[in-house]
Structure 1
């Protein structure tokens, strides 16, 4: 079975509710575990996720559901993929790193760059086979890519052209607003061309893709439907395996001060340490249940100074040791 991270569904629950539709019903119709709507650490059947997007679009009566969802998301949903890309020196190198690392995110979607005279065409494929079954997924992916490019090139940037396998919508107004006027439909591939000048743009900070993420998140904060704690959790989940997952790094990614981070979380009845501990526990359970990582390696990934500290943390929260939990899960 081909799988994709449930992070791909981030924001879907709240977006669907805006149309007075029950997200759980959409999940059931698509055969997606309802837990995937709130837990971004699960692995979900990729075909079911594609069905989910299409059923959601139909149920909500929203032809541009994928585009609307992308507006609430950002490249942070790619987790370790964007952590790899942040070491790039140019925008083109960052996108290429993302394309190469996509296999870490999913074995069911493919992004590859094909050099052309005017730039690079980024081709996107899914396991759907039928273009009608990938409309929302493809448009979501390309909006995410455009958002990332515009974080560097400016809001007036448009791709040189965009090609879609699927048929055009009844009106091209929304597509032209998002992608420009160079649109082609019923093609033999999905492709979005980024021009050479844009690809050569330097990433402006030492922590380059992270810097782009800050700008994207600042724009999203004005209209994002996810709660502030939810956005903090997304950042924590994606920084936890790096060496920079602390309140200062999360605040920087969100474009706020540590003091503001703490006060906004307090307003929502929680605090940074509570979110961090919840993420640590969820990921610990996942690694112990689904991976072959040693307990020491898991402790290091979750930023515990010693394996014994991780064991005490896990035992206190679950009433069993990491070893006992792994043995029970395998049995």
Structure 2
């Protein structure tokens, strides 16, 4: 009896289980919100397990309009601000002009120089000092060669001091002639008597250049030469009564009395001139003394 009852219970349970139906679709996994690039759930499935609607009932997605990225506008370089028109003759103050060039790059014509004026009182005082030293000279007409080249009150010197000829005659300003005369009287003549007595006295001073319209060292550009203003003279040699001329040349290592004479008069020249260039200065002066009386701030002198 007991076995029949157990069997009946098993049969009833089987019938119940056979009549039960499982859902058509089980639950589907949901999309993780933190993963980019995954697709959204498809319309044929949902969390409730219902059948998807017929195709005719599904809304047709509208095509998305083409989305174009806006073009980046091209930027043009900023143009300088334009101000009001400038007066005639000043259209472009920034453009390079002759006046904007540095002095070393300017020609004589570009420098627009003028002749240095000389007062009557100063000229009279200077020429009186020359006469007291016995210098032989004469006045000459004003020289104006343009571009600042010239001498307001030139003189032509033929002897400095008396009995010592200047060959050829030198056209210079009076202050340069006065410095030359004082240097000769106080330094050159005594040095020659001490170093070279056997050669007798100096009879001639040979000069290479006095007044000449040019730039320094004959260059094409740069500052105007003091020769062009009548402030300079170049001394090439000294002629004595006896013996050979003493030519001005490099004598730094010359151990003779001739070498001592030249070095002495070269050093002494700076007592009278504001610029002294000798053969030891540079190649441009290896055959003469350059002597000038240019005025510098503070009374500065250049002696080399």
TM-score with structure 1 setting the length: 0.18
Greater per-residue strand proportion? 2
Q: Greater RCO between the two (CA within 8 Å, min separation 6)?
A: 1
Greater per-residue helix proportion? 1
TM-score with structure 2 setting the length: 0.19
Larger radius of gyration: 2
